[in-house]
């Protein structure tokens, strides 16, 4: 069998040239100015991914391949090994809200920025110049900080900043402990024998530990909204992918592990005749109710939403709903716990009830054509975080079908809904054939 030797630099260059021309034509057709890296306005316009997802993803892959061969392995690997600093510096930017301090239509000097953050000028300059290497901010003229496409994105959502803080303060430490955890516990499925347990020197599971660390819990909950609205896997993907409008006019939808209800806020506006219930652990629901009161301008109009304090391992109290929706919930549970959660719902299910599981989809071996593709990276990152925090995983379609079948032979995976611009995201739909 022939070995794939990879593409030559000429082949890669030709591919890049062909795809950039294709994307420029698509931009012209859609009257979207094509972006440049310093184009602050591009952060609030359609991106190339939204203009032509397939071409943009293929282009990004060719560029990454060329970048590898343009360097030396010792440099490529060295940069990867120290990528934790990329995350930490993003964490500093989020912690001190530095992006919001830089004007979108002008510049700010290092000394002014230092004064506003309280970090001394030398340190602040070094931090920002580290970020500049990643195209986050730029300097023009020397000593004056301006926005780029990337830094401008950070100004759009305060909660996305909080999500970056969550990564640097909670997840980064945990991620760093993966080698140690695998050395100690190479094959356990216990949720309290994880990298998180080593990093935090605790026997508590991740959610158990957060329950007694409420300031961290609050950062995490705000971060869930931030990542869902501005981050890698958007709630909008679920709203577009799933045919919500085909549910009965008086449908009841339960968002299990719904956090502060950021997805339901959008769905409840779109479907005022449906009823929605946001379920989560007691401390989360108490905080969610307060948050909804603060957001009164928007939430006062939403009469179709209720809150419920509920542990999803206990029998589901909302009996006979049309949809039980689990977003970013099942992936935090190893198989035994995931099946237990699904089983706890069986007594509540009416015939035809749907269980929706919204997660990344891992390609099965038969579909795994290009494992190195960039489109896999956020899914692989989430998979490693699920391992680090909960000894859990992202799953293939077949693995989800098996979880449903283990919970009940009447719970049958029927559909997997997706949108073209996020091919690794999926809403899995199981129907109860009771
Ligand atoms: C990763 S967050 C996802 C939040 C939200 N669904 C989203 O997509 O942004 C998982 C949620 O599950 C909740 N959760 C974890 N264990 C739970 C349990 N035993 N019972 C109910 N909710 C739980 C967490 O509190 C958290 O809000």
Domain with residues 82-154, CATH architecture: Orthogonal Bundle (1.10)
Q: In the prediction, which pLDDT does 1 show?
A: 52
How far does residue 386's CA lie from ligand 1's centre (Å)? 13
Q: Is 313 in the pocket of ligand 1 (CB under 6 A)?
A: yes
Superfamily of domain covering 228-365+386-432? Vaccinia Virus protein VP39 (3.40.50.150)
Cα–Cα distance measured from residue 387 to residue 362, given in angstroms and rounded to the nearest whole number = 14
- Which of 171, 267, 280 maximizes ligand 1 atoms within 8 Å of its Cβ, making it the mutation to test the pocket? 280
Q: Is 385 in the pocket of ligand 1 (CB under 6 A)?
A: no
Closest C-alpha residue for ligand 1 atom 11: 257
| Length of the chain in terms of residues written | 434
The C-alpha angle 425, 36, 240, rounded to 5 degrees, equals 25
The C-alpha angle 309, 236, 31, rounded to 5 degrees, equals 160
How far does residue 150's CA lie from ligand 1's centre (Å)? 29
What residue ranges do the domains of the chain occupy? 9-75, 82-154, 228-365+386-432
Cα–Cα distance measured from residue 427 to residue 326, given in angstroms and rounded to the nearest whole number = 9
Q: In the prediction, which pLDDT does 384 show?
A: 98
Three-state secondary structure along the chain? CCCCCCCCHHHHHHHHHHHHHHHHHHHHHCCCCCCCCCCHHHHHCCCHHHHCHHHHHHHHHHHHHHHHHHCCHHHHHHHHHCCHHHHHHHHHHHHCCHHHHCCCCCCEEHHHHHHHHCCCHHHHHHHHHHHHHCCCCEECCCCEEECCHHHHHHCCCHHHHHHHHHHHHHHHHHHHCHHHHHHHCCCCCCCCCCHHHHHHCCCCCHHHHHHCCHHHHHHHHHHHHHHHHHCCCCHHHHHHHCCHHHCCCCCEEEEECCCCCHHHHHHHHHCCCCEEEEEECHHHHHHHHHHHHHCHHHHCCCCCEEEEECCCCCCCCCCCCCEEEEECCHHHCCHHHHHHHHHCCHHHCCCCCEEEEEEEECCCHHHCCCCCCHHHHHHHHHHHHHHHHHCCCCECHHHHHHHHHHHCCCEEEEEEECCCCCCCEEEEEEEECC
Q: Is 329 in the pocket of ligand 1 (CB under 6 A)?
A: yes
Q: In the prediction, which pLDDT does 369 show?
A: 79
Q: Is 284 in the pocket of ligand 1 (CB under 6 A)?
A: yes
- Cis previous bond, 141, omega within 30: yes
- Which of 257, 265, 357 maximizes ligand 1 atoms within 8 Å of its Cβ, making it the mutation to test the pocket? 257
How far does residue 271's CA lie from ligand 1's centre (Å)? 23
Name residues whose C-beta falls within 8 Å of residue 180's C-beta, 6 or more positions apart in sequence.
195, 198
Sheet containing strand 275-280, edge to edge, reads 305-309, 275-280, 252-256, 323-327, 354-360, 425-432, 411-417
Q: Is 333 in the pocket of ligand 1 (CB under 6 A)?
A: no
Residue pair 15/55 in contact by the 8 Å Cβ criterion = no
Q: In the prediction, which pLDDT does 72 show?
A: 97
Q: Is 280 in the pocket of ligand 1 (CB under 6 A)?
A: yes
Instruction: Say what angle helices 262-270 and 214-230 make with each other, to 10 degrees.
Output: 40
Count how many Cα atoms sit within 13 Å of the Cα of residue 358 in the half-sphere of its side chain.
25
Q: In the prediction, which pLDDT does 2 show?
A: 57
Q: Is 427 in the pocket of ligand 1 (CB under 6 A)?
A: no
The pTM of the full predicted model, rounded to 2 decimals, is 0.95
Q: How far, CA to CA in Å, does 193 sit from each of 90, 166, 172, 179? A: 29, 21, 17, 13
How far does residue 332's CA lie from ligand 1's centre (Å)? 9
Q: In the prediction, which pLDDT does 335 show?
A: 98
Residue pair 257/341 in contact by the 8 Å Cβ criterion = no
How far does residue 329's CA lie from ligand 1's centre (Å)? 6
Residue pair 157/229 in contact by the 8 Å Cβ criterion = yes
How far does residue 75's CA lie from ligand 1's centre (Å)? 39
Cα–Cα distance measured from residue 400 to residue 429, given in angstroms and rounded to the nearest whole number = 10
Each residue's pLDDT tens digit in the chain (434 positions)?
Answer: 557 889 999 999 999 999 999 999 999 999 999 999 999 999 889 999 999 999 999 999 999 999 999 999 999 999 999 999 999 999 999 999 999 999 999 999 999 999 999 999 999 999 999 999 999 999 999 999 999 999 999 998 777 788 898 888 889 999 999 999 999 999 999 999 999 999 999 999 999 999 999 999 999 999 899 889 988 899 999 999 999 999 999 999 999 999 999 999 999 999 999 999 999 999 999 999 999 999 998 999 899 999 999 999 999 999 999 999 999 999 999 999 999 999 999 999 999 999 999 999 999 988 877 899 999 999 999 999 999 999 999 999 999 999 999 999 999 999 999 998 898 999 999 999 98
Look over the chain and give the mean of its residue pLDDT values, rounded to a whole number.
95
Atom of ligand 1 nearest to the CA of 221: 27
Q: In the prediction, which pLDDT does 366 show?
A: 81
Closest C-alpha residue for ligand 1 atom 16: 207
How far does residue 280's CA lie from ligand 1's centre (Å)? 6
Atom of ligand 1 nearest to the CA of 262: 9
Q: Do domains 82-154 and 228-365+386-432 have the same CATH topology?
A: no
């Amino acid at each position: 069998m022939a070995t794939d030797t990879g593409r030559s630099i000429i082949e890669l260059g030709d591919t890049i040239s062909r795809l950039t021309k294709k994307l420029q034509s698509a931009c012209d057709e859609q009257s979207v100015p094509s972006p440049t890296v310093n184009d602050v306005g591009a952060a609030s316009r359609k991106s190339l991914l939204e203009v032509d997802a397939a071409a943009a993803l293929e282009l990004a892959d060719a560029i990454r391949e060329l970048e590898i061969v343009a360097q030396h392995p010792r440099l490529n690997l060295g940069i990867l090994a120290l990528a934790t600093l990329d995350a930490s510096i993003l964490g500093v930017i989020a912690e001190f809200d530095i992006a919001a301090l830089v004007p979108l239509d002008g510049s700010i000097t290092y000394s002014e920025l230092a004064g506003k953050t309280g970090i001394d000028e030398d340190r602040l300059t070094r931090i920002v110049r580290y970020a500049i290497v990643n195209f986050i901010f730029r300097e023009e003229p020397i000593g004056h900080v301006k926005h780029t496409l990337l830094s401008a994105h950070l100004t759009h959502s305060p909660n996305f900043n909080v999500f970056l803080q969550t990564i640097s303060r909670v997840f980064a430490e945990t991620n760093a402990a993966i080698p140690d955890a695998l050395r100690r516990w190479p094959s356990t499925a216990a949720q309290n024998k994880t990298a998180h347990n080593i990093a935090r020197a605790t026997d508590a599971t991740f959610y158990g530990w957060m329950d007694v660390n409420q300031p961290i819990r609050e950062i995490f909950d705000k971060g869930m909204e931030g990542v869902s609205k501005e981050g890698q896997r958007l709630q909008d993907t679920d709203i577009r992918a799933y045919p919500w409008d085909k549910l009965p006019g008086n449908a009841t939808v339960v968002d299990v592990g719904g956090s502060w209800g950021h997805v339901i806020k959008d769905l409840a506006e779109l479907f005022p005749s449906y009823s929605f219930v946001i379920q989560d652990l007691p401390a989360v629901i108490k905080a969610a109710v307060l948050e909804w009161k603060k957001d009164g301008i928007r939430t006062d109009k939403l009469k179709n939403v209720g809150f419920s304090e509920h542990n999803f391992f206990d029998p589901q109290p909302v009996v006979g709903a049309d949809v039980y929706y689990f977003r970013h919930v099942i992936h935090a549970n190893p198989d035994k716990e995931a099946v237990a959660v699904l089983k706890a719902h069986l007594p509540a299910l009416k015939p035809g009830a749907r269980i929706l599981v919204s997660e990344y989809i891992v390609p099965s071996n038969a579909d795994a054509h290009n494992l190195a593709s960039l489109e896999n990276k956020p899914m692989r990152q989430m998979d490693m975080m699920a391992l680090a925090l909960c000894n859990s995983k992202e799953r293939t379609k077949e693995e989800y079908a098996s979880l449903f079948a283990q919970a009940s032979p009447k719970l049958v995976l029927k559909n997997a809904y997706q949108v073209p611009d996020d091919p690794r995201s999926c809403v899995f739909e199981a129907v109860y054939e009771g």
